[in-house]
Chains A and B, each alone.
Chain A
Amino acid sequence: MSENKLHGDAVENPRLTWDGCSVLLDINDGDRLVFSRLSAGAKLKIGNKNCSLQPLIGCPFGSFFRVENGAQGPYLSRYTPSNEGNSIQEQGDCQSKDELRDNRALVDNNKAQSLTGDAINEMRRQGASGDEIVEALIANSATFEKKTLFSQEKYRLKKQKKYAPIVLLRRPFTRSICEAYLKKYPVRIGFLRMDTLCLLLSMANVSANSDVLVVDMVGGLLTGAVAERLGGTGYVCNTYPGGSPYPMDIARIFNFGEEICKRIVRSPLADLFSVQTEKSKVSSHNGDSCSMEIESNEQISSTAGTEEVSLASENMMSDLIPETTYSVERKSSKSAKLGEKAPHEIFSLWKENGFTSLIIAAPELDTWSLVKKILPLLSNSAPFAIYHQYLQPLATCMNNLQVGKMAVGLQISEPWLREYQVLPSRTHPCMQMNGFGGYILSGTKICTNN
């Protein structure tokens, strides 16, 4: 087996952050998720403190950071969590003793904590670390000792999150981007759940060197997910009926290098059908991409405004901050351009060969009339997958495809996903779950001329 080249992933799959890199910051174990672009000027507000993101540049993804108090104010400092894991799991043996304790003596009168807010502030002024404050709170809690081990742990964790927040540095991948958006801005991604999204990619056979046609009305998440799978080969063509392209902002959150960005192109649906002369396309090319640039920036700022407002549930804040919110200089160079108009030589190739896959996530377009029009652009035997939140448009479309003998292997499916809490003697499905992941119509196009 050793003869095989173990290809590095240096270019498109780096393990260290860099200046200008897009990152996902996971604050307090998933409580808050923030997308950010690292730069010397970028800042992140944690609790009531504004911290520079500079210390994160050049660190490995997966690093942990804590807020420390320095001479120039609070700053993020990298730390290595203990290898012990959190105490509770290792204390399985103590459980029998633990079972004797319960909450019968607990009175909810708000008098259990003797450390006052002023006292805590005073500790802070004297430079106490977050952990020290947490220890002090525990020492001053009249009820802590009476709690069960599990609720002691819960208490500690709650205080730690408040007084000693932890920032985890993550690579933005389709999975984390989808999960974060679904949690906070589900509407922007058409309620597309991560398991539904990955089914779309599989069912449409997205693989290196494919030419994938997408109708993406889910903010660019679908386009980005396809581009990630293509890894700088093939093309993902984001098409749209009418004159203005759909926004692709989410595709910019991925850390796509130039190679991958070049493979993300867009084209009005009409152009994919027309046999226009190449010249007119070339001449319109430049002006067009300019206006696209402006458009998308407007999109960013306008959505940023509305998104800030909609932050609701107490500590489940995931500010999906579009990259422009922070440093301004970044704009100039860092994020490579994506979503250029498809070059005309590729147009003719697509016309000649057809696309190898089709994915549609267009809740606002009539599924059947869109599919009827778009399916001839696909190669024969090419698979397709269509997402919708409602069953009826897909059922109608499936029936029509069947009657018209346009496709085989037609199936409507709905994924069901359940997460579990797995702890010693405490394993059960999570209390909260997303109950609906939408529907997918999948199938394979067949030759219609024989």
Chain B
Amino acid sequence: MLPVESAKKKLSFTRCIQDGDLVIVYERYDNMKAVKVCEGSVLENRFGVFKHSDWIGKQFGSKVFSSKGGFVYLLAPTPELWTLVLSHRTQILYIADISFVIMFLEIVPGCVVLESGTGSGSLTTSLARAVAPEGHVYTFDFHEQRAASAREDFEKTGISNTVTVGVRDIQGEGFPDEFSGRADSVFLDLPQPWLAIPSVEKMLKQDGIVCSFSPCIEQVQRASETLRSKFTDIRTFEILLRTYEVREGKMDSFQVEESGSVGSLPCKRRQRLSEGSNEQETTSASVVMARPCSEAKGHTGYLTFARLKCLS
């Protein structure tokens, strides 16, 4: 997924899909799937049967056809696409929260970042992109199986050189001592983040930043109170994304009659339109219109950021 893992894998006009590549099979904006290309394998969906062997040698971004003539697009994976296709083992973070966290934590290439819990690895993948190539993400989950699945995923997406998954109860034990004073930023997505804060204080470099993600305001309240003694710039945000649908449509324009009579009855109008069909064509123009989608997320979580006070 990251070009740093191998320069040869970088996206280009000459980079073709190879056996073993991870591709995102795109059916529709709301229907995608991650598939590992395997010479003898096939993909079956409602559009028919797709042979992987047909894909090999094609460019990323190609349209490929099934035996029945149905088609899908093959895209190169990115952390954003991965977030849409990964298997949910937990509630995950989405693009708006993810991108805000990375910017506010001031994560740049070379940073060392600690995360807990790993969950489904949605944020982790974006953290890895942000610290690569020299930096590293150390992520912890107390759930052994979940950690193992995350490891497999990171192997699959090709970021395992940048991410290390550990099994550990961060709320109970804190982060491992070996990271004391070495973390540029820390991200917490824990039910009781305040329990981990004393450990975060030890892990962070001076002036380093922590972010705690919590769905409930009571968690925010308690975490903020705990942060107050050693941190400054404590700020809490909520970020949401509103999406829009775009449609091109023809609209009949309404003609007020010469006489100016407002009572243009529907039947009268129809008559008029059918009579002068030439005129109708000129008055019904095609317009592109946009409106917010009615379905929207109302809340994801609160993001609380704080910076370790610089005391020495």
Q: Chain A residues with Cβ under 8 A from B14's Cβ?
A: 352-353
A127 interface hit (Cβ, 8 Å): no
Interface hits, A79-94 → B, CB 8 Å = 80-81, 83-85, 89
Quick one: CB contact mask for B1-39 with A, threshold 8 Å, 1 for yes?
011100100111111000000000010010000000000
In the bound complex, do residue B103 and residue A197 qualify as a contact, i.e. CB atoms below 8 Å apart?
A: yes
Quick one: CB contact mask for A49-93 with B, threshold 8 Å, 1 for yes?
000000000001111100000000000000011011100010000
Quick one: CB contact mask for B234-257 with A, threshold 8 Å, 1 for yes?
111111111110101000000000
In the bound complex, do residue A174 and residue B10 qualify as a contact, i.e. CB atoms below 8 Å apart?
A: no
A431 interface hit (Cβ, 8 Å): no
B225 interface hit (Cβ, 8 Å): yes
- Bound complex: CA A60 to CA B307 (Å): 14
Interface hits, A335-382 → B, CB 8 Å = 352-354, 356, 379-382
- Bound complex: CA A210 to CA B78 (Å): 12
Q: Which of B79, B109, B184 contacts A208 (CB 8 A)?
A: B109
Q: Which of B26, B78, B232, B242 contacts A413 (CB 8 A)?
A: B242
Q: Chain A residues with Cβ under 8 A from B240's Cβ?
A: 415-416
In the bound complex, do residue B136 and residue A233 qualify as a contact, i.e. CB atoms below 8 Å apart?
A: no
In the bound complex, do residue A409 and residue B79 qualify as a contact, i.e. CB atoms below 8 Å apart?
A: no
Known: A202-B98, A395-B288, A418-B237. A7 touches B135 (CB 8 A): yes
- How many B residues touch A, CB cutoff 8 Å? 92
In the bound complex, do residue A413 and residue B241 qualify as a contact, i.e. CB atoms below 8 Å apart?
A: yes
A232 interface hit (Cβ, 8 Å): yes
Closest to A200 in B: B99
Interface hits, B99-149 → A, CB 8 Å = 99-100, 102-104, 106, 108-112, 126, 129-130, 132-136, 138
Most B CB contacts (10 A, CB to CB) among A62, A403, A419 go to: A62
Q: Which of A13, A61, A410, A445 contacts B29 (CB 8 A)?
A: A410
Q: Which of B3, B26, B244 contacts A408 (CB 8 A)?
A: B26
Q: Chain B residues with Cβ under 8 A from A399's Cβ?
A: 246, 248, 288
Q: Which of B104, B129, B217 contacts A175 (CB 8 A)?
A: B104
In the bound complex, do residue A420 and residue B238 qualify as a contact, i.e. CB atoms below 8 Å apart?
A: yes
A203 to chain B, nearest CB (A): 6
Known: A202-B80, A203-B95, A420-B238. A1 touches B138 (CB 8 A): yes
In the bound complex, do residue A419 and residue B112 qualify as a contact, i.e. CB atoms below 8 Å apart?
A: no
- Bound complex: CA A422 to CA B164 (Å): 34
Closest to B223 in A: A422
Quick one: CB contact mask for B33-57 with A, threshold 8 Å, 1 for yes?
0000000000000000000000000
Q: Which of A64, A210, A415 contacts B3 (CB 8 A)?
A: A210
A residues with a Cβ closer than 8 A to B are 1-2, 4-7, 9, 12-13, 15, 60-64, 80-81, 83-85, 89, 171, 173-175, 194-195, 197-199, 201-203, 205, 207-210, 228-234, 352-354, 356, 379-383, 391-392, 394-396, 398-399, 402-403, 408-420, 422, 424, 427, 439, 444-447, 450
The 9 A-B residue pairs with the shortest CB-CB distance, nearest first, are A231-B109, A380-B61, A62-B310, A62-B207, A353-B12, A381-B61, A381-B60, A198-B103, A202-B99
Q: A1-B164, A7-B135, A446-B61 are in contact. List 11 more A-B contacts (CB 8 A).
A: A12-B108, A83-B229, A197-B103, A202-B126, A207-B3, A208-B3, A352-B12, A354-B12, A395-B290, A411-B244, A416-B239
